Amino acid sequence: MTSARLRPLVAGNWKMNGNKMSARVFAAIIQGYDSALRAKVELLVCPPATLAVTFGVVAVGSGVAIGGQDCHAAASGAHTGDVAAEQLADAGATYVIVGHSERRADHGETDAIVQAKALAARRALLTPVVCVGETRAERESGNALDVVRTQLAGSLPETADGGDLVVAYEPVWAIGTGLTPTPSQVGEVHAAIRAFLVDRYGDAGKAIRILYGGSVKPGNAFDLLSVSDVDGALVGGASLEATDFLGIAEYYR
């Protein structure tokens, strides 16, 4: 259930998937994002960097936002293979995901690195989508909330005005596994995140959207998106098919 006054956001993280032919999928997403749906929910697609410019051009006037999947903390320099937030903005992006669990695990990103990337996004006038979430072992040991609070404390910028930050809760054990937490588990974590945001940012914390991510698909979207303080979804595999991605967004119609 989207927090009062907040416009829900459904974001698609394409990860390392897609090529030039994928523009057809993106075009179908745009076609299905009619005026009635646009009035209810914001759509964001985060393609691989190789497609950012192409999708950015196609997206003009559609209402669908484009985002990056990661950025470097520096604006430029000798960082082979990395992408600066400013380069994403130049390609037409308005958002960037930082701190995804796959970046934290595969590239050893610490909370401090994630925070630096979130600040880089701000520098380039992008909205960072900061990801947090516990592993299955941390969940089963009863430490999920402590893990998420620790990640938030170290990963988020010191200041926020509400509209310049998005938080995404993605339990690591639910990403790409087909497993999903119960609505009550999601509600518990989202309530803890909201309390943390309000404690850190005051009233501005009430205006920060909190997304749920982790094996979200049309079949479970209603149960997950109806939970209090769930202000949208960060979608992985289901965002690669226009019908599935739009099917999740249809919850808000």
How many C-beta atoms surround the C-beta of residue 135 within 10 A? Answer: 16
- Write phi, then psi, for 75 (nearest 5 degrees): -80, -25
CATH number for position 22:
3.20.20.70
Domain count of the fold of the chain? 1
For the question of residue 170 being annotated catalytic, the response is yes
The reply to whether 190 falls in a domain is yes
pLDDT tens-digit readout, 107-142: 999 999 999 999 999 999 999 999 999 999 999 999
The reply to whether 15 falls in a domain is yes
pLDDT score of 169 more than 90:
yes
Q: Which domain holds residue 209?
A: 9-252
Q: Express as a percent the part of the chain with pLDDT over 70.
A: 99
pLDDT score of 1 more than 90:
no
The reply to whether 1 falls in a domain is no
Q: How many CA atoms lie within 13 A of 172 on its CB side?
A: 20
For the question of residue 79 being annotated catalytic, the response is no
Please pick, among 86, 102, 170, 190, the residue that the annotation labels catalytic: 170
Closest CA to 213 of 241, 184, 188, 236: 236
The reply to whether 4 falls in a domain is no
The reply to whether 107 falls in a domain is yes
Name the token pair of 106.
Answer: 């595969």
Please pick, among 100, 102, 134, 190, the residue that the annotation labels catalytic: 100
The reply to whether 2 falls in a domain is no
The reply to whether 57 falls in a domain is yes
> CA 98 → CA 31, 104, 115, distances in Å?
28, 9, 8
At 186, is the pLDDT very low, low, confident or very high (cuts 50, 70, 90)?
very high
At 4, is the pLDDT very low, low, confident or very high (cuts 50, 70, 90)?
low
Rg (CA), the chain: 17
The reply to whether 3 falls in a domain is no
pTM of the model: 0.97
